[in-house]
């Protein structure tokens, strides 16, 4: 009985990557370092959900960049808010909040963002150093 169990266990051990049978230690999971590395690369690949969120964030960033080039600076913040909505900007998604020297907060999509006021929004861009200062070392 014990021998049957051991044989069964040995026969079912296979590499998690290529499914080849494994020989050697019972806790072995991969045939070699190459299969181990391939398996870990795949498991670190972003899931479809993460890729969709990333797509929304990148789209928001590009709409914010376009806002600065398209709308004249004296346009009302309401007009800028409406313009963002019309372009399909998704206000539910942002990467972080950037505190500004005057105490306001900029809602950011990477280095591009906006500041909310009573009427709407104003675009705001972070300098590379400001963004890097917020990131963990
Ligand atoms: Zn393998």
pLDDT at residue 3, rounded to an integer: 59
In residues, how long is the chain? 137
Write down the pTM of the prediction: 0.69
DSSP per-residue string spanning 57-94 = HHHHHHHHHHHHHHS-TTS-HHHHHHHHHHHT--TT--
Q: How many A from CA of 14 to the centre of ligand 1?
A: 8
Which among 96, 95, 35, 89 has a CA at the least distance from the CA of 66?
89
Hey, where are the domains in the chain? 12-43, 48-134
Q: How many A from CA of 28 to the centre of ligand 1?
A: 11
Q: How many A from CA of 18 to the centre of ligand 1?
A: 4
Q: How many A from CA of 11 to the centre of ligand 1?
A: 15
pLDDT at position 1 over 80: no
Q: How many A from CA of 46 to the centre of ligand 1?
A: 22
Q: How many A from CA of 44 to the centre of ligand 1?
A: 18
| 2-30 pLDDT per residue, tens | 555 555 555 568 999 999 999 888 889 99
């Amino acid at each position: 009985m014990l021998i049957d169990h051991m044989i069964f266990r040995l026969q079912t051990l296979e590499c998690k990557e290529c499914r080849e049978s494994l020989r050697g230690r019972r806790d072995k999971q991969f045939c070699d370092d190459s299969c181990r590395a391939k398996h870990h690369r795949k498991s670190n690949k972003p899931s479809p959900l993460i890729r969709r969120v990333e797509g929304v964030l990148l789209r928001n960033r590009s709409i914010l960049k376009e806002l600065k080039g398209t709308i004249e600076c004296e346009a009302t913040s309401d007009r800028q808010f409406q313009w963002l909505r019309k372009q399909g900007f998704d206000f539910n998604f942002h990467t972080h909040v950037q505190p500004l020297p005057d105490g306001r907060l900029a809602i950011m999509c990477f280095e591009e963002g906006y500041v909310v006021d009573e009427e709407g929004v104003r675009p705001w861009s972070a300098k590379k150093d400001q963004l890097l200062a917020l990131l963990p070392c």
